[in-house]
Amino acid sequence: MLYFKAHGLTWGNAMGVMGFVILAVIIIVIIYGFVLYNNLVSLKNNVATAWSNIDVLLKQRHDELPKLVETCKQYMGYEQPTLEKVMQARAGVQQARETGNMAALGPAEGQLRATVGNLFAVAEAYPNLKANESFQQLQTRITGLENSIADRREFYNDSVNVLNTRIEQFPEVLIARNFGFKEADRLEFAGDEKKDVDVKALFG
C-alpha cells in the first residue's frame, strides 16, 4: 500500500495495470501458438507436396511398364517368368502407393527396380530387341523416371525429417499432440535396392 501511495496509485489502479499485463501475456502466448501451429501446417504440407511429386512419377512409370513388357514379349518368348516378375512387382508398388504405405512402398519399389534391372540384363541376349526403336524410347523414358524418383525421394525424406524433428521439440510438441500432428514415414530402400537402375550402362 505504501508503494502504491508513494507512486500515486490506488489498489484498484494497480490491479487494473496487472490485469492489462496478464491479458497482454495471454494474447502473446495465443499469437505464438498460432505461429507454431501454422508452421507445423506448412511443414506437413511440404511433406504432402513432396509425396505428390513422387506419386506423379510412380504413376507415369506404372503406365510405361506394360508397354515395355509388351514390346519385350515380341522378342523374348522364352522369358515369360522374367516379364511376369516385373508385372507382379509393379502391382506391389501400385498397392503400396495407393494406400500411402511408405513402409511397404520401400521394399516394393526396391523389388521393382531389381526386376526391371534383371529384365534389361536379360534383354542383352536379344539384339533385335535392343535395336527396336520403341524399346529404346522406353529405355530412355524409364531411366529418366528412375532418376527423378531418386531425386524427389531425397527431397521427400528431407521434408519428413524436418517435420518429425519439429513435432518432437518443445513447445511444438504441445501443439502437435493437441492438434493431431503425427510423424511421417520416410521412404527407405534397403541395401543394393538404393541403387537406381542404370539402363544406359546396361546397354553401353
State yes or no: pLDDT of 7 exceeds 90.
Answer: no
Nearest to 110, CA basis, from 153, 53, 63, 51 = 153
Greatest distance between any 2 Cα atoms in the chain: 103
61-to-68, 91, 110, 131, 145 alpha-carbon distances in Å: 10, 12, 14, 22, 7
Number of domains forming the structure of the chain = 1
Instruction: Give the domain CATH number at 38.
Output: 1.20.1440.20
Note the pLDDT tens digit of each residue in 27-69: 999 999 999 999 999 999 999 999 999 999 999 999 999 999 9
Domain assignment of residue 167, given as a range: 2-202
Give the residue-averaged pLDDT of 200-204: 38
CB 190 within 8 A of CB 108: no
What residues contact residue 75 under an 8 Å CB cut-off, 6+ apart?
A: 126, 128, 129, 132
pTM: 0.77
Alpha-carbon distance of 100 to 102, in angstroms, equals 6
